[in-house]
Amino acid sequence: MATAAPESHLRENPFRLAQQQLYKVGETFGIDERLINVLRECKKAVEVSIPTSMEDGSVRAFTGYRVTHNIARGPSKGGIRYHPDVTADEVKALAMWMTWKCSLMGLPFGGAKGGVVCDPKAMTRSELERMTRRFTSEIINEIGPEKDIPAPDVGTDASTMAWIFDTYSMNKGHSVLGVVTGKPLTIGGSLGRVEATARGSLYCLQSVLERRGTSLQGLRIAVQGFGNVGSYFAKFAVEEGATVVAISDSGGGIHNGNGVDVAAAFAHKRGGGSLSELKGGDAITNEELVVVDCDVFAPCALEQVITEANADQVKAKLIVEGANGPVTPAADEILEGNGVLVLPDVLANAGGVVVSYFEWVQGLQEYFWKEDEVNARLNEIVTRAFDETWATYEDRKTSMRMAAYGVAVQRVAEATVTRGLYP
């Protein structure tokens, strides 16, 4: 009997949602419609077939994408996702959000994203390596240190970046450090890159709390997704005195109102375990976690986890978007109506691309910085972007998302106008 395919996490077309957000930014900030018509499209989208030899002797042809949304402010930058639900429109949405994120942070980059439709958890390391190397050679004319620079995202990590770096370099005949970021430290990675996204999320949360005259001490936080972003965010939050009341991975998670043992969860995940096996709390599903009783909810997994179907039941009064696109536009309106403050993805998870920028700069200069230098510069850039967003939020009496997107889109629009339309 055939088993039904698992349901995708994408309930709505993410690219349409990203475009809807852009139209709203255009209206709110009075941006010329002709510019919005340009910015709503992706500059280039490449789809490739990736034939890969599998351990059982078969050959599977995986589908891969690399999309550049915009390069008005510099070469495009964005992660590569390995996940069964990857679609062309998901990659386009993620590429567009990268443009806004790089712009908000003031980085000299445009936005891009890549993805391969595959289940990395069901593949061996050698299968993943062969697939990654073939994918790299299929998109070798699209990427490059002055052109488009990939990085890790869901389902990819430093090893994946090492294989891309090596394949690209072998084809060029010399090591090209600037072609990817998120590389292992031994081959030109940056200190602080692994923790950077979570660190940036924490800086944003601390900035809001400071403005409210409070701190992380005693704050109850629920974290969805315990990968790169979620696990470090939970760890840092606990170090600052918060209580992490719930955590999860793709198989569900655990809840404990008195605090989950995040250090134990960290060790358990590093050992290859799943969080649902963890002791010291009650089992919780990912759906339950979204509406669990807490002060702060940090979605750090995939898109569209807060929708119009559950937004009304969210108990947290602050949402930190560690993930890209976890709140749909319809849910945004409900949350705003309920007085929930959402720290949007382009601000709250931008720490990763900021340190990726540092890694790219260090690679080009072949001169590497100390970790406290990396973290101090990260703090400076994220805090400046937070302050600019907050000022616009107060000035315009709009949401933090509209404020962040507004600042970002206007910068890209300005660059586009300054460069002019070719030919």
Q: Which residues bind ligand NAD (CB under 6 A)?
A: 9, 152-155, 197, 224-230, 248-250, 286, 300-302, 322-324, 349, 352
Residue 324 vs 398, nearer CB to ligand NAD: 324
State how far the alpha carbon of 248 is from the alpha carbons of 8, 30, 242, 277, 300, in Å.
18, 41, 17, 11, 10
Among this protein's residues, is 113 annotated catalytic? Answer: yes
Residue 168 vs 226, nearer CB to ligand NAD: 226
| Rounded least distance, CB 170 to ligand NAD, Å | 26
| Rounded least distance, CB 201 to ligand NAD, Å | 9
Among all residues, whose Cβ is closest to ligand NAD?
Answer: 227
Tell me how far apart the alpha carbons of residues 272 and 176 are, in angstroms, rounded to a whole number: 32
Question: How would you classify the pairing of strands 76-83 and 110-117?
Answer: parallel
| Rounded least distance, CB 373 to ligand NAD, Å | 19
- Bridge partners, 343 (sequence order): 320
Residue 26 vs 83, nearer CB to ligand NAD: 83
| Rounded least distance, CB 214 to ligand NAD, Å | 26
Tell me how far apart the alpha carbons of residues 74 and 59 are, in angstroms, rounded to a whole number: 38
Residue 151 vs 216, nearer CB to ligand NAD: 151
Contacts of residue 205, Cβ cutoff 8 Å, sequence gap at least 6: 216, 237, 296, 318, 320, 343, 348
Tell me how far apart the alpha carbons of residues 383 and 81 are, in angstroms, rounded to a whole number: 27
Contacts of residue 348, Cβ cutoff 8 Å, sequence gap at least 6: 200, 201, 204, 205, 320, 321, 322
Q: Provide the phi-psi class of 218: left if phi over 0, else alpha when psi is between -120 and 50, else beta.
A: left
* Catalytic-labelled residue, pool 24, 77, 113, 235: 113
| Rounded least distance, CB 250 to ligand NAD, Å | 4
Burial of 343 (0-12, 13-18, 19+ CB in 10 A): buried
Residue 289 vs 413, nearer CB to ligand NAD: 289
Query: What are the catalytic residues?
Result: 113
